[in-house]
Amino acid sequence: MEFRPCIDLHGGKVKQIVGETLTASAAQGGVVENFVSELGAGHYASLFKRDGLRGGHVIMLGGGNEEAALEALAEYPGGLQIGGGITADNALFYLEHGASHVIVTSYIFHDGALDMERLRGLVERVGKERLVIDLSCKQKDGKWYVVTNQWKTFSDFEVSPASLRELAQYCDEFLVHAVDVEGKRSGILESLVSLLAEASPIPTTYAGGARSIEDLERFRELTGDRLGITIGSALDIFGGSLPYEEVVRYCGGTPQL
């Protein structure tokens, strides 16, 4: 089981937020921030580089995050993926500045559907081996559907064994945020984890809800080590109580203290 770290950027700072509140208005209470770091993105990239953690993702949540993202990529060239606002026009820029892969969601899922023309064009531009498709999803009527536009818009694209097999032809990996539990430290969504472990034919990273070593044990039991996992707000480096070094060790790494 591979631990994939994350650097979430919002307003130019490293933050951990409750994903569903990204588009909340002031009247609704605004964005709920679990953690705002005083340290820059480069600090976390350096930490992940030190511990040999590859394939972590830098996610730009809205505008104003480009400088911080480039700081992280420069600190750990080839070790991080980048997502958030990626298009065919800027994908090569981030790859040339150190990203191992670009991550896309809304660019290829728009107007409620998967745009195969855009997807094929992006693959032609960057190559499938450097592309990660984000299938962040929510459950509706007992099925999982990709959500876009900062997770507030349901698409008609169901995450299923058939759709995973089809999309796997166009990318190197999948990244799947379980939106309903993202940032809430309420435990993994076992039904989604089981679906991904059974059906995904390519490397896949699950993100959402993990908060303890017990959650990691359950995740390993459900997946048989076939999925990677991301932990964000539960980690002590992001204001939580779960020791980062303990997670690295559990997942087979050796933190360099």
| Averaged pLDDT, 15-23 | 63
* Other CB atoms within 10 A of residue 63 CB: 10
- Any residues with CB less than 8 A from the CB of 152 and at least 6 apart, and which? 22, 23
Confidence (pLDDT) at 256: 62
Domain boundaries, given as residue ranges, for the chain: 6-250
pLDDT digits (tens, 9 = 90+) for 178-237: 998 877 778 999 999 999 999 999 999 999 999 999 999 999 999 999 999 999 989 999
Tens of pLDDT, residue by residue over 131-164, are 999 999 999 999 999 998 777 789 999 999 999 9
Q: Are the C-beta atoms of 182 and 20 separated by less than 8 Å?
A: yes
What was the pLDDT predicted at 27?
A: 38
Cα–Cα dist 158/195, whole Å? 12
- The pTM for the full model equals 0.92
Kindly state the DSSP code that residue 227 receives in the 8-state scheme: S
Please give the share of the chain, as a percent, with pLDDT higher than 70: 92
> Which of 40-49, 96-105, 213-222, 245-254 is predicted least confidently?
245-254
- Fold exhibited by the domain 6-250: TIM Barrel (3.20.20)
CB 83 within 8 A of CB 102: yes
188: left (phi > 0), else alpha (psi -120 to 50), else beta? beta
Q: Determine the pLDDT at residue 176.
A: 96
Mean pLDDT of 113-131: 97
Predicted confidence at residue 80, as pLDDT, reads 98
